Amino acid sequence: MEAFLIAEYVGIASAALSGFLFGIKRGCDWLGVFLAAFLTALGGGLMRDVIVGRPAYSFTHFMPVLIVLCVMVIAILFKLHHEKRHGLEKKFIFIMTDAVDVISFSIVGAIVSIEYGLNIFGVILVAFFNGVGGGILRDVLLNEVPWFLKTGLYGTISMAMGFIYYFMDLAGFTNIYWVMLLFVFGIIFRLVAYYKNWGLPQIHYKE
């Protein structure tokens, strides 16, 4: 439970900042920025809870939404909304927060899906939806091509976190130290994949 909460709250805070910056980039008003932050931070968790069939964690606990609001207030106090919008998605703060949230949420998705008795395929897919679902909802709201479709192994790494955690659980390696090791590995993997421009082979249609 401790590992779950740490991963969940770190992911929410990081994703809220990522969504905040994305909303600013798109020139949204304050409601639009809040919705971008809210969906990025909590949208994947809502998808996860629908799949496993449990009440939405974000709406049965106060902390998730409070974290989103606190991150927005801190971002405003530090005047992050005054940053130049051009090229924002290529700035390290955006790349790093995005990496932290996708890895955190993917691990949380794997933890919850195992708790609800899903098999390996369910664990991998729930990790994926928990990891990238919020970003998908944000991008649909802001009329963007989903981020995970155009940047270094984003969705693949999310699935890999679920795959690895499934076997960690089988081996009994699920304490906070092993989870943090997986967390750090996932972030490094994501950052390297982004800056090295790694990606899956494309399928080219020939007429």
Residue 205 lies in a domain: no
Give the span between the Cα atoms of 48 and 180, in whole angstroms: 21
Residue 207 lies in a domain: no
Residue 204 lies in a domain: no
Residue 172 lies in a domain: yes
Locate 18 and state its tokens. Answer: 């990522």
- Cα separations in angstroms, 116 against 44, 52, 185: 17, 7, 25
The predicted-structure confidence for 150-168, as pLDDT tens digits, reads as follows 766 889 999 999 999 999 9
Overall domain count for the chain = 1
Is 90 exceeded by the pLDDT of residue 46? Answer: yes
Residue 202 lies in a domain: no
Average pLDDT over residues 42-61: 94
Average pLDDT over residues 40-49: 94
Give the span between the Cα atoms of 155 and 125, in whole angstroms: 10
The predicted-structure confidence for 159-204, as pLDDT tens digits, reads as follows 999 999 999 999 999 888 999 999 999 999 999 998 888 887 777 7
Is 70 exceeded by the pLDDT of residue 89? Answer: no
Give the domain extent around 171. 1-196
Residue 203 lies in a domain: no
Residue 125 lies in a domain: yes
**pLDDT score, position 24:** 86
**pLDDT score, position 126:** 97
